[in-house]
Amino acid sequence: MTRDEIMTQILSFFRKEFEIENPGLDDNLREKHGFDSIDAIELLLKIEKMLGSELSHEEKKRAMDIRTINQICDYIESLAEARPASSG
Amino acid sequence: MRGGMERRVVITACSAITPIGRSKAEILHHLVHGISGVKALREDGLLSPYIHSKVFGTVDYPIVYDFQRQHRKTMGPVAYYACQVAKEALESAGLDQEFVTSGRLGVAFGSTHGSPTVQRNIYKTFFGGSRTEFSSIGAVDYLKSMVHTTAVNITKMFGITGRVISSSTACTTSSQSIGYGYEAIKYGMQDAMICGGADEYDTTAVAVFDNLLACSTAFNDTPYLTPRPFDAKRDGLVVGEGAGAVLLEEYEFARKRGASILAEVIGFACNNNGGDLILPNLGGITETIRIGLREAKINAEEVDFISAHATGTKMGDVIESQAIYDVYGNLPGVVGLKSYMGHSMGSCGVIETIIALYLMEEGFIAPTLNLDEIDERCAMLNHVVSLRESPIRIAAIQNFAFGGVNTNLIIKKMP
């Protein structure tokens, strides 16, 4: 998956599931769009499906500091690098 | 014993979702024309094929919900019902937002068991073969299904920071909500309470009562002819769905802000039969009626109208008739409102209270539907069998639940 592909999927997910339209890539999602801990858990489930692989407890804990769309994409890229190539 | 401050409590707004409609006009239309909201039991793909009783008090009209996603995401069907009626009651009361979030407003709201629909979906995930290696229970499934989901989704939607009471006592759930909300204001803990109950479409309760041979089965082809409270041909209760909310306020607070006052809550009683969890108990029911009158500081002959629990079971109606007769004789008009919509479980007490408010306001009493031939063991009461022009000054709403819980709520028309 390229960064653009990840970004497209994440923005589409935010639009469909969270009704957050075109957020700024560096917006603080919690402060600006009401993205909360429940949404974060739903997002992790989506990321597991994108990667085709379960996240470890440690990996999930790392996600709790994420605040922006760019950080979500960084996070997914780093997870993908640590895994064998997958069709996702 | 209690002492100190006792304040007056009034009802200033209400809203309902019932098998006989949403608005006061729709509900009264059904009552005046004798139109039932009992329909064929919907298929649920799980229990319905095994249930003998094929009737259900059904909410089958569309409801438009205008909730933001931030609120929707923690709501199962039962919380949708609850939040909708709470929203309408709060909006019609016109409380300002500063008061709503001040901690002076609390919530007393419950349901029989949260959202069974969501609970079933959780089990389906595991037992239905759809579980994958990824965690597949939604992050919010607990918040949607937990037993106090109605109360806390209401607090979230409006930013309410006061007390939360979430009764879950089956058929007395929402009468307890009103009663405990009333007491919270009366004794000074809160200045207002949004009170009520809700239950979504669910076949679990039908299956339970069906197993106990308590459900109506003889009118599966003519659902509108059942339940038949106090009638000789009654053959059991009909489970239903619905929701209701009333806003209670301390009287002086309501008066000063110019609220329209629908009625005053003057008494509440709740007790337990202290033994069997299923069988109706004459002593327990009679006592809760007496305690209610004592709390309201009125005599039995001052009550004009009794909304009986009257589910249409063989023994329940007989015991309740005896209890009413022992305390009131044959003076007050007695009606079983479940005859129109079945037993909406956690919401029946508040829906029956709201209908009592409507009848009080309009000055007539609607008859018990399907009461064609009064069972001789229930016949000593002043049953209302046809529309009766009659001012209601004081009304008593009686509810009794599995577990031996009884309630009696007494409301009075404001002069």
Chain B interface includes A52 (CB < 8 A):
no
Q: Is the pLDDT confidence value at A88 over 50? A: no
Size of interface A-B (CB pairs under 8 A): 25
Domains of chain B: 9-412 (3.40.47.10)
User: Which of A31, A47, A48 should be substituted to probe chain B, the one whose Cβ sees the most B Cβ atoms within 10 Å?
Assistant: A48
Please spell the DSSP secondary structure of B62-116, one letter per residue. -------HHHHTT--HHHHHHHHHHHHHHHHHT--HHHHTTTSEEEEEE-SSS-H
Write down the pLDDT at residue B89.
98
Interface predicted TM-score of the whole assembly (ipTM), two decimals: 0.76
Among B358, B394, B76, CA closest to B244: B358
**A80 with A51: CB under 8 angstroms?**
yes
CB atoms B140 and A38 under 8 Å: yes
* Chain A residues in contact with B136 (beta carbon < 8 A): 45
In chain B, what residues touch A19 (CB-CB under 8 Å)?
69
A contacts of B141 (beta carbons < 8 Å): none
The answer to whether A64 contacts chain B (CB < 8 Å) is no
pLDDT digits (tens, 9 = 90+) for A25-80: 999 999 999 898 889 988 998 999 999 988 999 999 999 889 999 999 999 999 99
The structural domains of chain A, ordered by start, are 3-81 (1.10.1200.10)
Q: Does A15 touch chain B (CB under 8 A)?
A: no
Per residue in B157-187, is it b (16+ CB within 10 Å) or e — as a string?
A: bbebebbebbbbbbbbbbbbbbbbbbbbbbe
In chain A, what residues touch B140 (CB-CB under 8 Å)?
38, 42
Contact with chain A for residue B140, Cβ under 8 A = yes
- Residue A86 confidence (pLDDT): 52
Distance from C-alpha of B312 to C-alpha of B215, rounded to nearest angstrom = 9
Give the nearest chain A residue to B143 (CA atoms): A38
Q: From the candidates B66, B70, B144, which should be mutated to test the interface with A, based on the most A CB atoms within 10 A?
A: B70
Strand order in the sheet with B305-307: B164-165, B105-110, B192-199, B242-250, B9-17, B263-272, B405-412, B394-401, B305-307, B333-335, B382-383
- In angstroms, rounded to a whole number, what is the distance separating the alpha carbons of residues A17 and A49? 15
Rounded to whole angstroms, how far apart are CA atoms A45 and B37? Answer: 42
Residue B149 forms contact with A (CB below 8 Å): no
Alpha carbons A33 and A19: distance in angstroms, whole number? 9
| Chain A residues touching residue B75 (CB < 8 angstroms) | none
Q: Which of B133, B134, B139 sits opposite A38 (nearest CB)?
A: B139
d(CA B110, CA B94): 23
Mark yes or no for CB contact B134/A48 under 8 Å.
yes
Residues 107-136 of B with CB under 8 A from A: 133-136
Task: Return averaged pLDDT per consecutive 10 residues of chain B, 415 residues in all.
Answer: 78 98 98 98 94 98 94 96 98 96 98 94 75 64 95 98 97 98 98 98 95 96 98 98 98 97 98 93 98 98 98 97 98 98 98 98 98 98 97 98 97 94
